[in-house]
Amino acid sequence: MATLHRKDRYSGDVPSVRTNGTGGGSQPAAAGKYQRVLRILFPAATVLFVLFIFGNSLQNGTESGSRSGFVVQLLENMLGFFGLKVEITEFFIRKSAHFAEYFVLGMLLFATLRVYVRQWKDKIFIPLFFGLLVPVCDEFLQLFVPGRSGQVSDVVLDFSGVLTGIGVLIVIFTAVSKRRPQKKLP
């Protein structure tokens, strides 16, 4: 049951509500607490994930190559278990890992935007900007790591992962919002 906290001059007591800070109306106080948690969780997860990406880039060429080789061997063994003889190259593993990392980053960036704004279309440049800035910084960082090199093609691949991650979440949020019953205006 909602708490009564003020008198409305037209109808008497009004249930306690808080505005969600996005200009999109109000929501129950319990939803505001959930929103505050998400406003901490998503940016923190995004920052930690960027640090994870940069941490991977700080590994020298030998360490990075041995990790890729381990993954190649693991996948070939798993596929061999099912009778599939497939040769997977380290190049494919590295590029897939780049795309997957930035796919997740794109989802985190868009989710962070969505917990702060309801009308995201005019603010989509924010996750896109950071989604491009991170791979540019990541590849620049690799220029200073022994056995690694920064590649413009990796920036393009990484940004395509960001775009795909953002696109997937847009499709999901759009589908969910269309399934929800729309509130009728008084």
- 185 occurs within a structural domain: no
More confident residue, 166 or 5: 166
Distances (CA, A) of 31 to 36, 136, 154, 162, 181: 9, 37, 40, 29, 18
Total domains, the chain: 1
Q: Is residue 10 one of the residues assigned to a domain?
A: no
Q: Is residue 12 part of a domain?
A: no
Torsion of CA 93, 94, 97, 101, to 10 degrees: 180
* Domain annotation covers residue 90: yes
Report if residue 28 sits inside a domain.
Answer: yes
Instruction: Using the Cα atoms of residue 78, residue 80, residue 84 and residue 90 in order, give the sign of their dihedral.
Output: positive
pLDDT in tens, 70-93: 676 777 777 777 777 767 677 888
Q: Is 47 part of a structural domain of the chain? A: yes
The pLDDT confidence band at residue 186, using thresholds 50, 70 and 90, is low
Cα separation of 163 and 106, whole Å?
6
Residue 119 located in a structural domain: yes
* pTM, entire model: 0.73
| 92 found inside a domain | yes
Residue range(s) defining the domain that contains residue 31: 17-179
Q: How confident is the model at residue 18 (pLDDT cuts 50, 70, 90)?
A: very low
